[in-house]
Amino acid sequence: MPIFLNSHDAGFEAQFQTFLGSKRESDSDVDQIVAGIISDVQSRGDAAVLDLTAKFDRLQLTPETLVFSPAEMNAEIAKVPAPEAAALELAAERIRAYHERQLPEDAWWQDDSGAWLGWRWSAVERAGLYVPGGLASYPSSVLMNAIPASVAGVENLIICAPTPDGKVNPLVLLAARLSGVETVYRIGGAQAIAAMAYGTQTIHKVDKITGPGNAFVAAAKRRVYGVVGIDMIAGPSEILVIADKDNNPDWIAVDLLSQAEHDESAQSILITDDAGFGQQVVAAVEHQLLTLERREIARASWHDFGAVIVVSDLDEAARLSDRIAPEHLELCVASAEEYSKKIRHAGAIFIGAWTPEAVGDYVSGPNHVLPTARSARFSSGLSVLDFMKRTTLAQLTPDALNTIGPAAETLAKSESLQAHGLSVRVRLDQINSGRNNG
């Protein structure tokens, strides 16, 4: 059963600290295995990728069949039922419209010294997007990764999407096409991350890798960071619902289960100011678990990592929420929009009882790739900016250099960096001698 905490209890703070520190990810050490896979791909390229794909995905490929051909993509996409295609198209339109508003602006101005200053934004040249396969093959993740990259202006986009036993999800390929991606490799795991990071004879290395994956994928992303950029190291999914008693417990129950059904290590938390309502939600969860298709996964998540926290008031709920810094936060309270201003740390906030987190996974528009494991305290969800970089600009006139240069020379001397100071001084001497070559 989920744990029950009550802020009125004498030992609450110690219990809450223990709760915050609990680990949900597997303790098995995969890093050594991943290190070997990466080394193998670095040294053998395509051959290593093909061998590892045969081993882990039970799929025999050749360099020519690593990527889906245009004809194969067309054939698979044709299998998508019309209602699902329409839903995916709606999602793509809304996600694109939301992310287009994130595009940053360049700047260029002259300050009081006469110096011209600014910055310029540009997209990374190549990005690789990882899409999990098997039970976790989600076309929505394709849209959430590929559309921001496309909006950012990334010129070369590829997707690695494993197809264990050769099973293809046509919706993944349709999502790729709707996002403007035509190059989809049917490989996965740490070997796919290594191939994108270092390149092979067939797969061109990229500048940035994004997308969720299992422990092996996460470990691989951690290892290749620095060679390429990555979005984040994502852990198991999580949801926190703050709800008062004026809610339907059945609604809150399915909201909690919407994340529990993802993964046995996912976490669902309810914070409420009414203990009786909390018990009603728990009963509703147990009732839903009787018929839920993924009930075994959801039950394990809820019973092992679920929590109900009873607080004295909703202000206390907001303070505890900030300490949890959840990936997803639902606010099912009165004046929810105003209440949301009390929250500092959350990956995404869903305001009001009519805004279930599940809509955010698909069609509301904001990105569903979000920081987990309390990392919302210092990081944000995936955005257009993750596929862009800012280059600063500076241009000094002789007068501007004459105004601010002496301070730079002084600081260089204080740091014992003689050449730094001289590079300024030779120009100042030129200006002051009247031989300004501008």
User: Using CA atoms, how far apart are residues 101 and 36, in angstroms rounded to an integer?
Assistant: 42
The C-alpha torsion from 143 through 144 and 149 to 150, rounded to 10°, is 30
Write phi, then psi, for 267 (nearest 5 degrees): -135, 135
406/337 same-domain check: no
214/180 same-domain check: yes
From the list 312, 317, 327, 316, the residue with the least C-alpha distance to 361 is 327
71/126 same-domain check: yes
**Local structure of 127: helix, strand or coil:** strand
CA 304, chain centre distance (Å): 25
The stretches of 289-330 forming alpha helices (DSSP H) are 295-305, 314-324
Residue 405's contacts (CB-CB under 8 Å, 6 or more residues apart) are 424, 427, 428
User: Using CA atoms, how far apart are residues 20 and 377, in angstroms rounded to an integer?
Assistant: 13
408/300 same-domain check: no
> What is the pLDDT tens value at each position of the chain, 438 positions in all?
899 999 999 999 999 999 998 877 655 689 999 999 999 999 999 999 999 999 999 999 999 999 999 999 999 999 999 999 999 999 999 999 999 999 999 999 999 999 999 999 999 999 999 998 865 678 999 999 999 999 999 999 999 999 999 999 999 999 999 999 999 999 999 999 999 999 999 999 999 999 988 889 999 999 999 999 999 998 899 999 999 999 999 999 999 999 999 999 999 999 999 999 999 999 999 999 999 999 999 999 999 999 999 999 999 999 999 999 999 999 999 999 999 999 999 999 999 999 999 999 999 999 999 999 999 999 999 999 999 999 999 999 999 999 999 999 999 999 999 999 999 999 999 999 975 454
117/187 same-domain check: yes
Instruction: Report the pLDDT value the prediction gives residue 136, as an integer from 0 to 100.
Output: 64
Instruction: Report the pLDDT value the prediction gives residue 26, as an integer from 0 to 100.
Output: 59
270/307 same-domain check: yes
Question: Residue 5, class by beta-carbon neighbours within 10 Å (0-12 exposed, 13-18 middle, 19+ buried)?
Answer: buried
Instruction: Report the pLDDT value the prediction gives residue 123, as an integer from 0 to 100.
Output: 98
Is residue 23 situated within a structural domain? no
Rg of the chain, C-alpha, whole Å:
26
Contact 182, 70 (CB under 8 A): yes
Is residue 192 situated within a structural domain? yes
Instruction: Report the pLDDT value the prediction gives residue 28, as an integer from 0 to 100.
Output: 63
C-alpha distances out from residue 377 to 360, 369, 371, Å? 20, 15, 9
Cα dihedral 393, 399, 400, 404 sign: positive
> How many domains are contained in the chain?
3
Domain boundary at 206, 232, 258, which? 232
69/107 same-domain check: yes
Is residue 289 situated within a structural domain? yes
With vertex at residue 117, the alpha carbon angle to CA 111 and CA 119, rounded to the nearest 5 degrees, is 145
Count of other CB atoms within 10 angstroms of residue 121: 17
- Return the CATH number at 110: 3.40.50.1980
Instruction: Report the pLDDT value the prediction gives residue 235, as an integer from 0 to 100.
Output: 87
Cα dihedral 151, 154, 155, 159 sign: negative
Instruction: Report the pLDDT value the prediction gives residue 438, as an integer from 0 to 100.
Output: 46
Is residue 5 situated within a structural domain? no
332/284 same-domain check: yes
Is residue 108 situated within a structural domain? yes
Taking each helix axis as running N to C, give the angle between helix 170-178 and helix 139-152, from 0 to 180 degrees, rounded to the nearest 10. 20
User: Using CA atoms, how far apart are residues 98 and 383, in angstroms rounded to an integer?
Assistant: 10
Domain boundary at 200, 215, 232, which? 232
Joined together, the tokens standing for residue 161 give 């999407």
Is residue 155 situated within a structural domain? yes
228/239 same-domain check: no
Domain boundary at 194, 216, 232, which? 232
- β-bridge partners, 348: 328
What single string gives the DSSP state of each residue in 131-153?
---GGG--HHHHHHHHHHHHHHT
Domain that holds residue 320: 235-378
48/119 same-domain check: yes
Q: Annotated active-site positions, please?
A: 327-328
Is residue 1 situated within a structural domain? no
361/424 same-domain check: no
285/362 same-domain check: yes
User: Using CA atoms, how far apart are residues 386 and 206, in angstroms rounded to an integer?
Assistant: 14
Count of other CB atoms within 10 angstroms of residue 182: 15
Is residue 392 situated within a structural domain? no
Q: Which residue has the tokens 């070559």?
A: 437
